[in-house]
């Protein structure tokens, strides 16, 4: 989510890896012919849509270096979703674009975008789903996670990100429910702010992919580790601003 976020993370599939290329199935951009790509992308979103009871279409203003950029976010909510979670899309995005993007690209020897507006130009919309954890925790996904995810010790997926290059649409899903009682990384009763942390983690994957399309296929592992490093630093913010389910 997390490429899975355990609790919410994204695993790498060793069958699609080589010495110079890695693949992260949960933060996946699909390169099939257009009709098949759209069908697969829509199928991915459908499993989240069935739990949606309300959708808000928002123009979200992201401040970056004292300038405002806007992105369209369709926020698909369940009956107990906290609407203020959208604030973490904003807060996390600002930090990611100002700090994480340049630091990660510098570390990997990637030229940063000359103008961050290019990152926004590569996103037509974000489909944001607050959903049930069961939608991201198939037996196969959890097995792949245990075997190949770069951050060990997790047991439940709490977030995912996928993108459709042809429509410049990102689908971001996140969850926090009873299934996370099985997590080995958090206490379900004490760490409820991890709902917001998961969402922030997934936004790292959105912006790393939007600012340098295609780079995630080469640096899937490194991008996942960058997302984990950011979300560890974001925990204090998430805890301070956390709002319980109503």
Residues 81-139: pLDDT tens digits? 999 999 999 999 999 999 999 999 999 998 888 899 999 999 999 999 999 999 998 87
- The answer to whether residue 72 scores a pLDDT higher than 60 is yes
pTM for the model stands at: 0.83
Residues 175-225: pLDDT tens digits? 999 999 988 888 999 999 999 999 999 999 999 999 998 888 899 899 999
| Both tokens assigned to 69 | 């950029």
End-to-end CA distance of the chain, in Å? 24
DSSP string, the chain: ---EEETTEE---GGG--SS----TTEEE--S-HHHHHHHHHHHHHHHHTT-SEEEEEEEEEEETTEEEEEEEEEEE-TT--GGGHHHHHHHHHHIIIIIHHHHHHHHTPPPPSSTHHHHHT-SEEEEEE--GGGG--HHHHHHHHHH-SSTT---EEEEEEEETTTTEEEEEE--SGGGGG-SSS-TTT-TTHHHHHHHHHHHHHHHHHHSTTGGGTSHHHHHHHHHHHHHHHHHHHHHH-----
CA-wise closest residue to 216 among 22, 10, 42, 14: 22
Give the separation between CA 205 and CA 226, rounded to whole angstroms. 9
The pLDDT value given to residue 20: 36
Say which residues have a Cβ less than 8 Å from residue 120's Cβ, sequence separation at least 6: 62, 69, 70, 71, 210
Residue 75: how many other CB atoms lie within 10 Å: 21
157 and 4 Cβ atoms separated by less than 8 Å? yes
């Amino acid at each position: 989510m997390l490429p899975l976020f355990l609790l919410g993370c994204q695993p790498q599939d060793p069958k699609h890896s080589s010495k110079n290329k890695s693949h992260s199935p949960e933060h996946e951009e699909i390169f099939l012919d257009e009709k098949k790509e759209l069908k697969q992308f829509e199928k991915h979103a459908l499993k989240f849509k069935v739990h949606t009871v309300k959708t808000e279409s928002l123009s979200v203003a992201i401040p970056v270096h004292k300038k405002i950029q806007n992105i369209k976010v369709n926020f698909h909510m369940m009956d107990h979703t906290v609407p203020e979670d959208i604030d973490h899309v904003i807060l996390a995005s600002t930090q990611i674009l100002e700090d994480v993007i340049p630091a990660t690209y510098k570390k990997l020897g990637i030229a940063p975008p000359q103008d961050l507006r290019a990152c926004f130009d590569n996103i037509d919309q974000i489909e944001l789903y607050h959903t049930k954890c069961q939608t991201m925790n198939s037996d196969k996904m959890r097995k792949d996670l245990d075997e190949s995810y770069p951050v060990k010790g997790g047991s439940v997926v709490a977030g995912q990100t996928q993108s459709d290059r042809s429509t410049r649409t990102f689908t971001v899903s996140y969850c926090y429910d009873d299934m996370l009682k099985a997590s080995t990384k958090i206490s379900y009763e004490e760490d409820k702010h991890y709902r917001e942390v998961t969402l922030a983690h997934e936004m790292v994957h959105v912006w790393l992919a939007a600012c340098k399309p295609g780079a995630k296929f080469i640096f899937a592992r490194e991008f996942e580790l960058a997302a984990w490093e950011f979300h560890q630093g974001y925990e204090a913010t998430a805890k301070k601003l956390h709002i319980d389910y109503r």
